[in-house]
Structure 1
């Protein structure tokens, strides 16, 4: 386990790292230090070829209820321009390996933005998602207006951002923000199971697949299709591709090495 003050980072299996937000007394409010520690843990995971998937959780009762309001209140229109948090968010945005989020309880503001940096969100039945920044006289500032619109569409994103209202887990799944709903006691277990399934797949293909799917949001259809084909062709040169074909023919389980 890697010890931080705001998070816990621990390898929970051969290829999976779990990051747990660890400010329960403040409902896991995200201060700059929290984001810096998450970024550091992800950079370490990126450099470790044996780590293939990250599970991100806030614990059994709350994911993250938002940004640290006390820290935000100390800023003005000038100081916010040199805020260090965008560089930490950029680490999450660039992280190439899959992230599976286990969300219980409140997942609001910066917490919702953090969860939306994950590739798969498993929601507990008690999960509540929202972007309530409008109630503070501001708007989401870490991609919330953009990622939420990608996930749930313009109509619901507008309602959530303009009213500050929360949505429940069933609405989140119905509109594509979360993947599935679990009993709160099983959310982390299910996220871990999904992570293990992904970790057993060929790592280079997994990274390419994540990149290609994200490209569909960042580029037009033609550019996205061209990128997909480029990744598809490049994977034919990998040892994992040859192993996958051999295992299929031999009717055995493939042993992928990330080569």
Structure 2
């Protein structure tokens, strides 16, 4: 691929954003290539690890392309459609964020289920300074992640969330030295890998279900799992361990 480095494994897919000359700014080619990755993960569900460069995850959307877009392109939701697809992937997604995640780059990280950061991580949404809104999810997703007061500070006043604040607000699950970041992200996916893949997939579906779907969605997911041979094997193993 032109803008991504993709490593497929049996138990995960690792995608590194790779436009170093543009600090990984999200352009149309990257959007198309990330759609290809999503299609593969929808066809063969596995966890996704999404990472960037040394000192920058993604420094926004490509401003030259944004400057050329008009009303029709805005209504197409070019970036927001992709980021929502990432959000809806069947298995968990983890963003490993080193340094700057700004604008569309931040919105891509927000779309992942979990984020781990380096101690130099920076999240920001400076879009109003360019005469636009953070229109690919930040205006509602960031509020869900960190709460309204902090989200408004970022979106209305240009506040940048640095590492300690990202950790205290739980925007990131943990902070690490840059050299240790990828290892920490892989360790998080390793923990998921020890769990039932079907249970993880259904848990994500239930978590993302609208409020009106509960508790029916919970009951249906549990009914599927209660008949799963993997559930029987895991519970039998647990009981056998406790009996010894």
Structure 2 length normalisation: TM-score?
0.93
Residue 148 of structure 1 corresponds to 142
Residue 7 of structure 1 corresponds to 4
Q: How does 1:39-188 map to 2 (within 5 A)?
A: 39-48=35-44, 52-82=46-76, 84-188=78-182
Structure 2 distance, partners of 1:55, 1:39, is: 15
Instruction: Determine if contact 1:108/1:129 at 8 Å carries over to the other structure.
Output: yes
1:97-129, CA deviations, whole angstroms, 9 ceiling, x for partnerless residues?
A: 110110000011111110111111001100000
1:251 deviates by 2.7
Instruction: Determine if contact 2:12/2:48 at 8 Å carries over to the other structure.
Output: yes
Instruction: Determine if contact 1:35/1:89 at 8 Å carries over to the other structure.
Output: no
Q: How many residues align?
A: 242
Q: How does 1:220-259 map to 2 (within 5 A)?
A: 223-251=213-241
Structure 2 distance, partners of 1:127, 1:86, is: 23
Q: How does 1:198-237 map to 2 (within 5 A)?
A: 198-215=192-209, 218-219=210-211, 223-237=213-227
List gaps (5 residues or longer) in structure 2.
none
1:169 deviates by 1.5
1:16 deviates by 1.3
Structure 1 distance, partners of 2:54, 2:236, is: 42
**Which residue among 187, 191, 208 is the counterpart of 2:185?**
191
Structure 2 distance, partners of 1:8, 1:101, is: 15
1:233 deviates by 2.4
1:178 deviates by 1.1
Instruction: Determine if contact 1:16/1:196 at 8 Å carries over to the other structure.
Output: no
Residue 17 of structure 1 corresponds to 13
For the residue of structure 1 that corresponds to 2:94, the secondary structure is: strand
Residue 256 of structure 1 corresponds to none
Structure 1 distance, partners of 2:111, 2:76, is: 22
CA 1:95/1:182 → structure 2, altered by over 3 Å: closer, same or farther? same
1:83 deviates by 5.7
CA 1:78/1:42 → structure 2, altered by over 3 Å: closer, same or farther? closer
1:86 deviates by 4.2
Structure 1 distance, partners of 2:80, 2:129, is: 22
Structure 1 distance, partners of 2:204, 2:84, is: 17
RMSD: 1.8
Instruction: Determine if contact 2:5/2:17 at 8 Å carries over to the other structure.
Output: yes
